[in-house]
Structure formats: structure tokens, C-alpha cells
């Protein structure tokens, strides 16, 4: 199947790996049982570090709509706030847990601002997205390589408070209200399973230059 993809390079102590966008590419879907185990290991690592995280995009949709991981998905998705990302600590914890780690860093687009981390185990990639808070509009911004109007910029209210659901035997945070979150990301038909990725047709490109400029001018906003 054709799905959105990117090439990756492994991160190690000698350099920072980067992800380069490659448009649509062939990508295998998940082994659900393996993905469940990898997600639970990811959750354990983040919980042990005391880092709040939320289910994101397809993993969040599967948890609510399908009560599990969507079989046609290609990765596991979680989100955390950039201010909570102590990079050496997080990379060390995931590495000790047996993951390979790759940084999502796009210097030509975002300079030194990190978009996220991809941690991989047993052939399953977990996309750990970072969101940055923008106080003037009370929104959070994901530093996507191709910013779009259906989720790159989101109301900060989605991530306020601790709104938990039961997922794979543990309690995890979900953006709230989930119906509004899913409609923003997938459109009004999000309740209908769609395995061909045609829901991406609703996306239109946007500029996030003003947000990037603000995050560099006011780094303290997204630091502890």
C-alpha cells in the first residue's frame, strides 16, 4: 500500500539522525500484537520518567473508535509537550529499554527546534510528536515537515487536564474532547474506517512561519 512516509537514519552518540520527507512510499502495515507490546513498553518508559503523554492521531482514533490499534496503520502515535522533552534523559531511557532512536529534526525548516523522536523496536515505529505552546492564540503547534490545516495547529484545550481512557489494559490520556479532535484531523466522517488514506485529501498547506519565529524569540515559553 502507498502511505505517507519518510526515510530515517539511526541516531547515535556520534551524531544526530534526521528524517527526510520522501512523499508517498511503500510501507508495511503493523503487526497489531507486536505494536501493542511496543506501545505498552513506550508507555512504561514515559510513565517511569514522569512525562505526560497523549495518544495521537491514528492510535488515538483506534483506541476510541475501534477499541484497539487500527490494523491498517503504519506506526504508533503519541504526543508530549516540548517543554517536557529532556532529550538526553528520554533517549537514554528508550535506549536502555531496547529501542533504536531517531530525531525528527528539520534544520532548514525549524532551525534547532525538534519536531519529535521516532523510537523503534521489533519492527514497530513509535512516532513521539512534540507540540509547542503558542500563548497569543492559546494553541499548540506540531512542527510538521508539511504543515496543514487539519492538525498542525490545534486548540490547546485538547491537552488541558487529565482525560484518561482504558487502552490495552492501562489508563492513557486522550485529547479532549476526542470528537472535536478527530473531526479536526480526519473530517466529519472519522467514524467510518478508511484504509486507503483518502482522508488526507482534506488537507491544505499552511504556513507556520510566525509560530517558528515566536518559538525562537521566546524559548522560555516551551522550557521548564
Comparison of pLDDT for 178 and 25, the residue scoring more: 178
| 199 inside domain | yes
| 146 inside domain | yes
Look at the block and give the residue holding cell 510538521: 144
Residue 93 pLDDT exceeds 60: yes
DSSP 3-state assignment of 128? strand
User: pLDDT tens digit string along 78-90?
Assistant: 999 999 999 999 9
| 201 inside domain | yes
User: Please, which residues have CB within 8 angstroms of residue 68's CB and are 6 or more apart in sequence?
Assistant: 32, 36, 62, 168
Cα Rg of the chain, angstroms: 16
In which band, very low, low, confident or very high, does the pLDDT at 27 lie, cut at 50, 70 and 90? Answer: low
| 160 inside domain | yes
Record the cell numbers describing residue 165, joined without a space: 481512557
Query: What's the domain range around 163?
Result: 15-21+28-219
| 82 inside domain | yes
What is the CATH classification number for the domain harbouring 146? 3.30.460.40
| 37 inside domain | yes
| 60 inside domain | yes
Cis peptide before 177 (omega within 30 of 0): yes
User: pLDDT tens digit string along 156-179?
Assistant: 999 998 999 999 999 999 999 999
Predicted local distance difference test score (pLDDT) of residue 136 = 98
Q: State the chain's mean pLDDT as an integer.
A: 89
Stretch 123-137: mean pLDDT: 97
Number of domains forming the structure of the chain: 1
| 7 inside domain | no
Which is it for strands 76-81 and 124-134: parallel, antiparallel or unpaired? Answer: parallel
User: pLDDT tens digit string along 189-209?
Assistant: 999 998 777 888 889 999 999
- Label residue 82 exposed, middle or buried (CB < 10 Å: 0-12, 13-18, 19+): buried
Amino acid at each position: 500500500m502507498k502511505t505517507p512516509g519518510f526515510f530515517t537514519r539511526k541516531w547515535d552518540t556520534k551524531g544526530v539522525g534526521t528524517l527526510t520527507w520522501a512523499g508517498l512510499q511503500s510501507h508495511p502495515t503493523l503487526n497489531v500484537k507486536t505494536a501493542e507490546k511496543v506501545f505498552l513498553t513506550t508507555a512504561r518508559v514515559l510513565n517511569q520518567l514522569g512525562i505526560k503523554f497523549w495518544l495521537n492521531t491514528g492510535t488515538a482514533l483506534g483506541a476510541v473508535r475501534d477499541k484497539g490499534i487500527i490494523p491498517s496503520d503504519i506506526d504508533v502515535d503519541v504526543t508530549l509537550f516540548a517543554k517536557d522533552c529532556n532529550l538526553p534523559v528520554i533517549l537514554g531511557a528508550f535506549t536502555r529499554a531496547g529501542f533504536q532512536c531517531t530525531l525528527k529534526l528539520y534544520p532548514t525548516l525549524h532551525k534547532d527546534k525538534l519536531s519529535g523522536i521516532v523510537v523503534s523496536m521489533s519492527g514497530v515505529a513509535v512516532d513521539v510528536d512534540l507540540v509547542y505552546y503558542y500563548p497569543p492564540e492559546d494553541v499548540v503547534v506540531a512542527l510538521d515537515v508539511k504543515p496543514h490545516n487539519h492538525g498542525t495547529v490545534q486548540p490547546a484545550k485538547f491537552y488541558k487536564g487529565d482525560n484518561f481512557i482504558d487502552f490495552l489494559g492501562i489508563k492513557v490520556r486522550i485529547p479532549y474532547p476526542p470528537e472535536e479532535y478527530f473531526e479536526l484531523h480526519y473530517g466529519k466522517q472519522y467514524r467510518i474506517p478508511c484504509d486507503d488514506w483518502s482522508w488526507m485529501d482534506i488537507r491544505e498547506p499552511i504556513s507556520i512561519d510566525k509560530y517558528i519565529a515566536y518559538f525562537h524569540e521566546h524559548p522560555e515559553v516551551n522550557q521548564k
